[in-house]
Structure 1
Amino acid sequence: MPEPSLQWRIPAIVEPPEWFVQAIAQHAPDSLVAYAAQLLWQRGIQQVDQLAGFLNPSAYQPTSPFAFGQEMQWAIERLQQAYRDGSIVGIWGDFDADGVTATAVLWDGLGQFFTQQKTLLYYIPNRITESHGLSRSGIDTLHAKGCHLIVTCDTGSTNLEEIEYARSLGMDVIVTDHHTLPSDRPAVTAIINPRYLPAAHPLAHLSGVAVAYKLVEALYETLPDVPQTPLEQLLDLVAIGLIADLVELKGDCRYLAQRGIEQLQRQATSATATRPGILRLLELCKRSGDRPTDISFGIGPRLNAVSRIQGDAHFCVELLTSRDT
């Protein structure tokens, strides 16, 4: 049976109203006003009060991480308890670009509150031998190292049996994820997943790395005297994961990507780079980090390739977070 032929469906050109064109003129060069007005109108950006924040991240008001509600509050309370007790926290990541950047965000971000390799560990399953999500063998590995709390990123929402197994070993679980929701809430300390939010919510389209960032942001807000490194230094990692995961760049997703690209540009020259691994990646890509395509056609595919070729993606986290030149 022959496959049906596919045809492009091109929407009819609709001229935006003059009041909208005049509003665009306040934000765009004269030569681009007509084009920008038509493009934004056809993409549904049709309210004047949306324009400034959409075009200029400095005019956007980012959404509080506590907009996730009680789940975020529970997660922060448990992390604060772990911080006070000096107990061991294990980050459970994933091996694609969104997953490894999410792991890196938690490694650097939670690393402001816990001691890396002592009270903070991370685990990424082998793509070839373990596949996605939580596993009993990985949980056993963290348990053997004395881990009392697992924080997932970009995974874990539907691992009900594995979560129960972790609980049976006396380990609590905080899930941060953006994938399919389970039919029933899992037996976790907290589950932070934007799929629980309304579709129009500014956090509804966050990828795994952005959800992880919001968790770290909430901890920075509640324990502001502890971190020694500005939260904004995580945004280059956030932009890489967001854009590589092809999520819809609207609301906070767009804001974080815009701010993250600003931070990524600083990694393109040795004089300003704070992440030598990203500097080297940009050199290999022959990119300057100033546009989304530098990620989608440069950095992202290279990060994704590591686990596809050798299974183990731990090297990616080391590459992204190392300060050693």
Structure 2
Amino acid sequence: MRILVTGNAGFIGYHVARRLLERGDSVIGFDVVNDYYDPTLKEARLKRLDETAASSSGEYHFVRANLADRDAVDACFATHRPDRVIHLAAQAGVRYSIENPHAYVESNIVAYTNILEACRHTEVEHLTYASTSSVYGANTNMPFSEHRPADHPLQFYAATKRANELMAHSYSHLFRLPTTGLRFFTVYGPWGRPDMALFLFTRNILAGKPITLFNHGNHTRDFTFVEDIAEGVIRASDQPAAPNAEWDSANPDPATSNAPWRLFNIGNNNPVKLTAYVEALEEALGRKAIIERLPLQPGDVPDTFADTTALETAVGYRPATTVKAGVGAFVDWYREYYESVAS
């Protein structure tokens, strides 16, 4: 199987690409490797993928280019002819979208359009793409379900990802392109992004500096370990979306569709208070945090909680790594990685 993984130098993309290589698939990675955060970490991920590929039975090719460059995307598809696409490249970050919305238009709208068009014209058998729990926005009906509206995003980042879901539906309807959108819930773990809370907390605790808990630490999050996310992504990709068998063309339900299009939550189905997350980190580090509590920030969602029933039914998988185990794995990686960098 030839699988294009966009954003393979990124956090989730790295884990997905590595697992595909380990099972023997041929992987085409595509990443611009920008400086939104330390490119050294991205290059280290790419080096690990090279090492994994060298010991695997699948082929590995890496394209260093911008997905917003239509010619580069078209050339990649023409050269490598992927059977499936796992599109994980995006401009992430809730607060950064307030500062620099244009970056989100380029990475999350223009680049995504290029991917849809390339999939359409090369008859890709399945497009699986990243969305986010942030699309639920002002919705306070817990747990979040894919069957409820997600029409009131609270930040521009979430708005662009909701747009991706709707754009996918139009291509699924018009061109019968099978698409699966995956709404990720607070992903964390080894090789994470330096702008993520767990990374920032770990760095500051080890340095004896305060950590900031917004909303006075009263957030709850459905923290999901990155290896669980990678497993869910690959299982979803392996089972292409199909038209709704129960669709009645004579009496259509306006709330559903017969397009080969679907959305899944991927979360731990077990929300945890942010303060408990910090306690797990303190235990793993063997140090107490100095905590500064501040009000809720613009665009922040107070609570997230994933209903994962649809994912379990469709692909037979449900994330289950506990916060204690996941945070411990992150701390082990963090110490090892930064010790090797320092040496």
Tell me the TM-score range normalised by the shorter chain.
Answer: 0.3 to 0.5
- TM-score scaled by length of structure 1: 0.36
Is the strand fraction higher in 1 or 2?
2
Give 1 or 2 for the bigger CA radius of gyration.
1
Is the helix fraction higher in 1 or 2?
1
